[in-house]
Amino acid sequence: MDWYEKLNQYFPVEEMKSKQHMESLLKEKKDVYFKEEGPHHVLMYAEFKHFVFVDYLFVSKDARGQGLGKKLMKFLQDKNKPILLEVEPVDVNDEDTAKRLYFYKRIGFKHADKIGYERKSLATGEVTTMEILYWSPTNASEEEIYEAMKTIYEDIHTYKDEEFYKGKYEDVEQVLSIDEKNKENILKSLD
């Protein structure tokens, strides 16, 4: 099974980029977008001057609990830049959603509870709510995380969207928001 098949079988269709989109990012944005893979993992990430974005992290079921995910995240943490990622809220019908949140909480990630993120999938037409988690060696503010997420959305998520999906994603202002009133912190609810 190739790297894309592994990701495609694990992540929901509304969260997946097309293979063409990802291969184009790897080729045309090779100074920013990277793939790290092995027999039991796939890590897709974007590294910018001031932050890193984890686009996809997959660890096979038979390798979970052996420290592989932690090792991959340590590789990114060693870059000494804030790390951002998107996660779906806990779904009681999918135990992996809570396990993912526990994992990120254990390795020091925080929930950006001032940032709202809802985007419409061009594949399904459904609106998906995602939460932003981040780790920062410099105590980055949520405003800095918000600005970084805008860059990710515009430079990675919507890259050549009309070519790859025959449709245009919503403008960043319609997808991302920041509000001084905090939402429920999804990591605190795990205690």
Residue type, 132: I
Model confidence pLDDT, tens digit, residues 54-93: 999 999 888 888 889 999 999 999 999 999 999 987 666 7
Strand order in the sheet with 52-59: 33-38, 41-47, 52-59, 83-87, 131-135, 110-111
Which position has the higher pLDDT, 93 or 46?
46
Q: Choose which CATH entry (3.40.50.800, 3.40.1580.10, 3.40.630.30, 1.10.3720.10) describes domain 3-190.
A: 3.40.630.30
Distance of CA 95 to the CA centre of its chain: 18
pLDDT at 191: 61
Model confidence pLDDT, tens digit, residues 157-168: 999 999 999 899
pLDDT at 190: 64
pLDDT at 184: 75
Separation between Cα atoms, residue 125 and residue 99, nearest integer Å: 27
Model confidence pLDDT, tens digit, residues 133-158: 999 999 999 999 999 999 999 999 99
Token pair 């990114």: residue: 76
pLDDT at 95: 73
Separation between Cα atoms, residue 46 and residue 53, nearest integer Å: 5
Residues 127 and 84: beta-carbon distance below 8 Å: no
Residue type, 140: A
Provide the residue ranges of all domains of the chain, joining segments of one domain with +: 3-190
